[in-house]
Every structure is written in C-alpha cells, then in structure tokens.
Chain A
Amino acid sequence: MYVAVKGGERAIDNAHAWLAEERRGDKDVAELSLAQIREQLSLAVNRVMAEGSLYDPDLAALAIKQARGDLIEAVFLIRAYRTTLPRFGATRPVETGAMDCDRRISATFKDLPGGQVLGPTFDYTHRLLDFALAAEGLDAPDVAEGEAAQAPLPHVTEFLAREDLIQSEPDGPETPRDLTREPLDFPADRPLRLQALTRGDEGFVLSMAYSTQRGYGRNHPFVGELRIGTVPVEMEIPELGFSIEIGEVVLTECETVNQFTGSKTEPPQFTRGYGLVFGQTERKAISMALVDRALRWEELGEDNVGAPAQDEEFVLYHSDNVQATGFLEHIKLPHYVDFQSELELIRRLRAEAMQTGLKDAAE
C-alpha cells in the first residue's frame, strides 16, 4: 500500500538531533574544548584555515568540533561564514623575507646564510606508534631552548638572482583579481591561479604535483627553500596615511628552483615555482609550487604535453573541495524525475530492439 511521501520536515529535524548526539559521543568522556583542538590538533586547524581562506585558529577549531573532525566539512563551515564578513580593505603584501622562521631548509645548498633550521618536523621521526601517548596525563617533556636568530633570513633564490641564474619575476598587476569576488575567467593569470591553489584541496594539489614528478608534465623541481614562520600583517589606514601592523600570521612558503629554459633573447636560466599557504602546511606549499610551475608552461615557452597539471581549466575547476564535495554529494538528492524519464526511454529502446531482434531471427 502506497503512502504519499510526506514528513520531510520532521525527518530533517530528527536527523539534526541525532547528529548532535553523535557529535558529542559518549557523555562519560570529557567534551573537547576549542583550546584543545587549537593547541593539540594544530595541523588540522591549519588545513582548515588554509582551505577555508580565513586565518582564525579559534573559528577553525570550532568548525572542526562542529564537523566531528571532517575537515572538508569544517572548511565548508568556514567558507560559508567567511563570505558573510564585511571587507574593510586589503593589507599590504606580507614580507616573507622578514619572516620569523621556525623552520627554514634548502635542498639546493648545503649551507647558506642563516643556516638550515630543521624546526618542528615529522621528517626524521620513525613512524612507530608512540604508545606512551595513549597513557594520558603525562607531563610535557622538557625541551631545550636556544636563542632565536635575530637577523632576517635571506631568500635562497636571491643568491641565484644575483647571478641572473634564475628568472626575475616582473611585478604583476597593481590589484590582482579576487577569486572570491569575481567569477573565474580564463585564461587565468598567475595571481588568480595561486589564489585557487592556496585554497585548493590538499589531496588534489598533492596528487597533481605528484603526477608532474611521475612524468605528466615533468619540471624537475628542487626545493630551493621551504620556510615556516610568523610574518607581520600591515594595513594602510587611509585616515592615517601610513600603514600599521594589525596582527601576524603563520605562513609556509616554498620556492622551487626548476629546470632551466632559454630563448632567443634569454640565455638559459632556472625557473621558479611558488607556494604560500596559511599555517604550517608544508606538504601543501610544496605541492602548490610544483603545480604553479607546471601551469606556467605557456609563459615559459614550453610544450603543452597534455598533462593534467598543465591544464589550468582542469586544475582550477577541480581543486576546490567545497565545490567538489557539494556536487559529488548532491547525487544523494532525489532524482526520481530524471531517472523516471530514463526508465521510460530504456524500456522503449529495449522493446524496439527486442522486436527488431525477433524479426531478424524469423527471417
């Protein structure tokens, strides 16, 4: 007996209530605080800030808590909030050369002014589960402290630039187009591509970068420098006529030194790829630099070998995980009507095919 499908409203309310209960989990276990998420799951917080395009560790922690740890859902919450915020203006470009570095390594020079600073990295940890962490309530280990370097660390590519061994980057347009305020339009210039990449899904950008390493648009990258640290953010206040510091952000910057090119007018030079991402997000920053470099094939006079990472439409249209997950998951919505029209079509086509088949068999 068919009962008309009613009750969508009640179903939604009940689903939300159940979801809230599941989010909290077993009430005998203490509730997570935002401070705990911010301090102890900081790389998740960083990813949500980077892909959410909003630098606010507390809001990112809230989003992670609300999303039950689903980071793409958390990114979505942040994006939906971000888009409602008023815009007071734009800051001055941050000066990453003046970064207060926690980490700064170069894969191209054994030593360099300022030295190699390993910083808090997983790189040389042995990936063995540390069962001591399972026993809660341990005191934090004592960590030796040293003096922070005072002088700013120069960018590695500056040494190459002094000899003209690496391409110089011309100044871009005064005010780059804003991906979040204008529809995406092709061809996309480099500022627009970099905006898309820095907020792009880490997994997607990683895989695109990896594909270039495996030969789909290879561009021979060296990590010229990877630096992570704090930079001041300055904003020019029209009423004052000069810029003042309004805060600071942690950034990860990666500059790659790539295979050289030369042309009729230019002798061979190294080329650059660039990654800049909110927070300690070095996998993403390195990936971004590789994909940035792959997308520059045209401007550098390289061949388009048809690699996915060289195709800006492909990369930019598919890098955003909020768009991707929304569209992917929308196929959960009812499609009775279009499915019904397909059902009718396929029944008719089959009936015709069977009839023709029978006729052919009889002849």
Chain B
Amino acid sequence: MSDYNFAYLDEQTKRMIRRAILKGVAVPGYQVPFASREMPMPYGWGTGGVQVSAACLTPDDTFKVIDQGADDTTNAVSIRKFFEKTAGVAVTERTCEATIIQTRHRIPEDPLTEDQILVYQVPIPEPLRFLEPSEVETRRMHALEDYGLMHVKLYEDISRHGEIATAYAYPVKVEGRYVMDPSPIPKFDNPKLESAALQLFGAGREQRIYAVPPYTKVVSLDFEDYPFDPSKAPHPCALCGAEDSYLDEVITDDKGSRMFVCSDTDFCASRRAAGHVGVAGAEVPA
C-alpha cells in the first residue's frame, strides 16, 4: 500500500502526536489535548489507540492487538490488519514477542517488560465526566486537584451498596497527583497499572493522550476502612485451570449452563501448551 505513508499518518501528524505523548510522559496521568485526525475507522473504535500506535511504530516493531483480551475479536483483527497493510510490521499473538501491544479493555496477564509499550484505546478519558459534564469545569478541577466530588461519589456508593460499585474503569491516582481513568479495564487489572512497560492512552474522539511511565505509582482510589478489592469471578479457567486470571463467562446451552474461561487468549493457550488442563480443557482442542 504505497499510497500512504508508513503507518498511514503523515510524518508531521506523527510528530504532533509524539509531542503530546512526551508531554503525557512528563506529566503522568495528565490529559494532553492533541489534534486527533479522522482515521479510516470510526471514532469510538480505537482511533486514539491507532494514532498513538502509528506514532510509536517503527519498521522493526512487532505488533499485537487485543480486544477484551483476545487477538481474534473482530475489531482487533481489523486494527491488526490495518497496520499490517499500512506499516508492514511483523504481528504476533504472543504477548512476550510483541514490542507494542494495542489493547481495548484488558491488560495482559503476563507481566510486561521495559522493552514493551502498551497502548490503550480510551472512550472517555475524563474520570470526572459522569460527575461533571462540562470539560471546562473538569479541567479546572484537575488543575486545582479538586477531587472531592469523586470521593463523595465513592462514599455514596458505600452508603448505598455497602461497597464501591464500580467494576471497570475504576479511577486511579497517578504518582500522587492526577486522578486518571484507566480506560474500561476491569478493576481486576488495576494492580497491573504499575508496570515496567510504558503505558500510553489514546482517546481519538475526545482528542486526549495521557501516559503512565514505567514504574509509576498508581493507586486505585479507596478508603482506609473500605480498601480497594480487585475481585474476579470465583472460578478457575475451565480450559487451562488458571486460578489467577480474569475470566469470560460463556453461556453454553439454552438451559443457562455456563463456563468460565480466560479472557487473555494468549495466556490461556500458552498454559495449555505447557500442559495445564482445566475441567473442560480435554474436550476442546487447544
């Protein structure tokens, strides 16, 4: 596809995005406005992540795309194909082989390394958005570190439900300063936000980029007497038997029978290749 520049975007646009990324790395958790471009896929389908990936990719990179933890979900396939076509980079489904991983809604189970970049697709970057609809107001609140509204919301959850009723996109505080939306990952993934890898967040429609540099302190918001709990379904994976991975619930018949399997497909496949078998693992070809 020689009609387009390497990784689709022109070099000036990539420079503009890289500047926003650098600013984001310098001010962890701060949402940097950037002049997001119209991409050939719809807003809300990963255009922010795609632009960040395009600005980071080099011809030597190995690229992996996951959606809901899986490489084979349709939109992950579509984005992977896009970069195969426009950048000609090597692609992989193996977490450990990838240098750049674009993700939607999950952090891979295996710990990432300093040589990897994790790029998140972000729908609504503003953690305060559903408490305050105005962007002018929320930017002011971040500037003044005025996060009282968020704590009141969490407190009201506890008084109404007995616990903080946020199961995904659970807000975090980055390096003791900015409250940040980690994108709609399950709160199970929140502890993995403290990582050796560089984590970049791209919100195309909302024109924001933010970053969590390697080894940055990321704290999930909570109260001393109601500490953060990264819960998951109380089951092992039916295919690989893993007890410590995030699980998808799959309905298997019209009587409501269900099984729980790893959402991270590469993690599950690697475990099965290494001989781990869950209760249903023997029936399903690896």
**Residues of A near any B CB (own CB < 8 A):** 1-9, 11-12, 76, 79-80, 82-84, 180-187, 313, 317, 322-323, 325-330, 333-338, 340-345, 348-349, 352
Contacts and interface: CB of A to CB of B under 8 A. Distances in A.
Nearest to B248: A336
A80 B36 contact: no
A122 to B, nearest CB: 32
Interface stretch (B143-151, B163-171, B216-224): B163-171
Contacts of A335: 68, 105, 184
B161 interface: yes
A341 B77 CA distance: 24
Given A313-B135, A336-B263, A337-B68, A82 B38 contact: yes
A334 B42 contact: no
Contacts of A79: 38
B39 A8 contact: no
Contacts of B165: 345, 349
19 contacts: A2-B238, A2-B261, A4-B265, A5-B70, A7-B72, A80-B38, A80-B40, A183-B34, A323-B205, A327-B123, A328-B44, A337-B68, A340-B233, A340-B249, A344-B231, A344-B232, A348-B231, A349-B162, A349-B163
Given A326-B44, A326-B205, A349-B165, A181 B252 contact: no
Nearest to B80: A9
The 3 closest A-B pairs by CB, nearest first: A326-B43, A330-B44, A326-B42
Contacts of A9: 72, 77, 81
A180 B13 CA distance: 12
A327 to B, nearest CB: 4
Contact of B161 (A323, A342, A344, A349): A349
Interface in B88-107: 104-106
A122 B231 CA distance: 62
Given A8-B76, A330-B123, A340-B247, 8 more contacts: A2-B250, A7-B72, A12-B78, A181-B35, A313-B135, A313-B136, A317-B135, A341-B168
Nearest to B40: A80
A12 B185 contact: no
B200 to A, nearest CB: 17
Nearest to B105: A337
Contacts of B184: 335, 337-338
B115 to A, nearest CB: 26
Interface string B106-130: 1000000000000000010000000
Interface of B: 4, 10, 33-40, 42-45, 47, 67-70, 72-78, 81, 104-106, 123, 134-136, 161-163, 165, 167-169, 184-188, 205, 207, 231-233, 238-239, 246-250, 252, 259, 261, 263, 265, 280, 283-284
A244 to B, nearest CB: 27
Contacts, number: 146
Contact of B42 (A7, A183, A313, A330): A330
B4, B44, B47, B134: residue with the most chain A Cβ atoms closer than 10 Å: B44
A8 B163 CA distance: 38
A155 to B, nearest CB: 34
Given A313-B134, A349-B165, A343 B38 contact: no
Given A181-B35, A185-B33, A313-B136, A333 B233 contact: no
Nearest to A80: B40
Contact of B284 (A3, A183, A352): A3
Contacts of B134: 313
Contacts of A336: 68, 248-249, 263
B68, B169, B239, B252: residue with the most chain A Cβ atoms closer than 10 Å: B68
Given A183-B34, A329-B42, A338-B105, A4 B284 contact: yes
B42 A76 contact: yes
A6 B74 CA distance: 9
A5 B43 contact: no
A341 B238 CA distance: 18
Contacts of A330: 42-45, 123
Given A326-B43, A341-B187, A334 B33 contact: no
A327 B46 CA distance: 10
B260 to A, nearest CB: 9
A338 B284 contact: no
B45 A326 contact: yes
A352 to B, nearest CB: 6
Contact of A183 (B10, B35, B248): B35
B73 A334 contact: yes
B248 A8 contact: no
A190 B248 CA distance: 49
Contact of B74 (A12, A76, A83): A12
Contacts of B232: 344
A192 to B, nearest CB: 13
A12 B284 contact: no
A2 B161 contact: no
Contacts of A329: 42, 44
A125 to B, nearest CB: 37
A183 B69 contact: no
B95 to A, nearest CB: 16
A348 B77 CA distance: 34
A326 B72 CA distance: 21
A64 B162 CA distance: 54
Contacts of A344: 167, 231-233
B280 A8 contact: no
Given A83-B38, A342-B167, A337 B246 contact: yes
Contacts of B77: 8-9, 12
Contacts of A82: 38
